[in-house]
Structure 1
Amino acid sequence: MLKKILASVGIGKAKVDTILLSDHLTAGESFDVEVVIKGGDVEQELNGIELAVMAQAKAEAEVGDDEVTYNKSIVLQHWNQALDLTIQPGEVITRQFTLQLHPEVPATQLFGQQISKVWLQTGLDIKMGIDGSDKDSLYISPSATQLAVLDAVSQSGYRLFKVDIEAGKVRGSGFQSQLNCYQEYEFKPESRSFFGAKEIEVTFVDNGQETGVLIEVDRAFIGDGYKSVSIPNHCTSIDSVMPYIKRILD
């Protein structure tokens, strides 16, 4: 009886470990995972496995008269896989699943460098108990179209300065984001003119067929301005995306 009580509050409970069978991912692609559940000190009833793609995003809030920026964890996608079984002490149960990333999921890697935090969270739905959980970082590269756009912006005289994930949604001409966060690539010009751009921020909204590109331009003495364009996803080279980028940078 004591072991059951302890397991119900998380001591000696079943544990879960998720193994990513696909090392490097691209938003919109499917990937395979193996979930390994090991029984604890007592038998427990497992209702299901919950998996979620999550991201760390910047958010803003008003505290008194001040506006503060803080980081928050955001659920981007969620799956619930039913089990309805009993796991015995020390028993090992494995399940494999194929999941598909939403095309708007932010990239975490750019040219071998980490630029953001996105992970797969796995939890057990245990009857009358605290769930075990596991957290696995996801290595997600920008799509070929996005990489071409980033290269085109760089070749247009801008230097990538930083990358953020922001809580909220964005929209441009003919497109609107669906997830509750978006990724911003912040560029600074290699050389500045008096009324030129102080910086530009590039955001992508990929719907699977084409990529919406929203560019926020911050100009000295003028303020922010927004321009957008949609680029077919078969455009994957600098030469093919450059006409679109010139259209909104000029």
Structure 2
Amino acid sequence: MVFKRLLGSLGAGGPTVDTVLDPGGARPGSTLTGQVHLRGGDADFDIDHITLELVARVEAEHEDGESEGVVTFDRLTVGGGFRLAAGELRSVPLSVMLPWETPITELYGQGLGIVLGVRTELAVAGAKDKSDLDQLNIAPLPVQEAILEALGQLGFGFRSADLEYGHIRGTGQRLPFYQEIELSPAPQYAHQVNEIEVTFLAGPGGMEVVLEADKRGGLFSEGHDTVTRFAVGHHDVRDWNTEVDGWMRQLVEHRASYGSHAGHGHDPYGHGGHYGHGEHHHDEGHRPGPGMGTAVAAGAAGLAVGVIGGMVAAEAVDEIGDFFEGEEAEEED
């Protein structure tokens, strides 16, 4: 879906811009391609530059509770330095390398409730206006998909996903926010944990998998969170069901160190040891259930998968423009 808006700072006779992304499965670390279509206005205009911003809706925790806003996580110029004649139609190709930590927005075609966008800024004769917004859909990397599928096979269920502002201490995180995929526990762990959160921090050499468990309290103890992480390579071939179940056992048993399974891969960022969230903060008798893709699809059909701030994933497609434009209006005020 494309959101167009006339360049208000240039008046009714100004040029318009329409960014169209190529169809296909964009993934973290891949190249995003498309075309920036320009239509000249009532007069000739000098196009100083065409800049693209990758933006995300992010939640932030603070003393007064939670709030959400828009964060720009990449910005680059894709063209400019030419004159656009009155009424002229011109297309400028775009090719953008997505950050490796770009959040995933869908799994097997089902939205997770994450809102990402590509915003185009056109600078004309010194005037600027963020004038076009397109929804950005990101599919998981193969290793991310394999891990999520294994979690589904082991009986974990998808609850929601969101983007949290801040950094996870001790990791190689580069973006100013991280993605949390919240899962209900598999039956064999339900008596020990309330919820599992999964974060992927990918890089060119591999990926960190950060796992956090909201552990249940006992008769004489309060509940608490435990966190651990593991390193995997982009092309690792493993028995992922066995591997991931081992991770979960280690997490639940609170051996919060860089796991023994990490030896099969490598640390993509050169970090090790203990860590935690926030500077701002094989069960042989288990019968595998449906994969995570099936779980997400079922949730989308009946359980309002991906609910964030009252917006379900299906509605995010129609309301992304209103959300971002609302943020821009507040900035202008």
CA distance in 2: counterparts of 1:79 and 1:216, whole angstroms = 34
| TM superposition shift of 1:165 | 1.3
1:13, 1:132 within 8 Å by CA — same for their partners in 2? no
Task: Return the letter of the residue paired with 1:136.
Answer: D
Q: What CA deviation, in whole Å up to 9, does each residue of 1:83-103 have, x standing for no partner?
A: 222222211121112111111
The residue that corresponds to 1:227 in the other structure is 228
Runs of 4+ in 1 over 3 A off after TM superposition: 6-10, 190-195, 247-250
One of 100, 104, 109 as aligned partner of 2:101 = 104
Query: What is the CA–CA distance in structure 2 between the aligned matches of 1:248 and 1:171, rounded to whole Å?
Result: 21
Amino acid corresponding to residue 153 of structure 1 in structure 2: L
| Corresponding residue for residue 270 of structure 2 | none
* Matched-pair identity in %: 28
- 1:191, distance to aligned residue in structure 2 (A): 3.2
The corresponding residue for 1:163 is 161
- How much has 1:8 moved relative to structure 2? 4.7
Q: Is the aligned partner of 1:200 residue 2:196?
A: yes
Residues 48 and 80, structure 2, Cα contact 8 Å, conserved in 1: yes
State which drifts further: 223-232 or 34-43: 34-43
Alignment check: 8 A CA contact 2:160 2:181 kept: yes
2:80 alignment partner AA = L
Q: In structure 2, what is the Cα distance between the partners aligned to 1:114 and 1:143? A: 15
Write out per-residue CA displacement over residues 18-62 of structure 1, whole angstroms, 9 at most, x where no aligned residue: 111243211111121111111112222210100011111111233
Larger strand percent: 1
After superposition, residues 1-250 of structure 1 pair within 5 angstroms as: 8-62=9-63, 67-115=64-112, 116-131=114-129, 133-171=131-169, 175-191=171-187, 196-221=192-217, 222-235=223-236, 239-240=239-240, 242-243=242-243, 245-250=245-250
- Secondary structure class of the residue paired with 2:80: strand
Q: Name the SS for the 2:247 alignment partner.
A: helix
CA RMSD of aligned residues (A): 2.3
Question: Is the 8 Å Cα contact of residues 160 and 188 (structure 1) preserved in structure 2?
Answer: yes
Write the distance in 1 (CA, Å) between the matches of 2:8 and 2:160.
45
Task: Supply the distance in 1 between the matched residues of 2:130 and 2:12 (Cα, whole angstroms).
Answer: 10
CA offset digits 1:171-211 (Å, max 9, x no partner): 45xx3210111111111124377860111100000012211
- Partners of 1:30 and 1:14 lie apart in 2 by 28
Q: Is the 8 A contact 1:49 1:82 kept in 2?
A: yes
TM (norm. structure 2) is 0.66
Q: Which amino acid aligns with 1:138?
A: L
TM-score, scaled relative to structure 1: 0.86
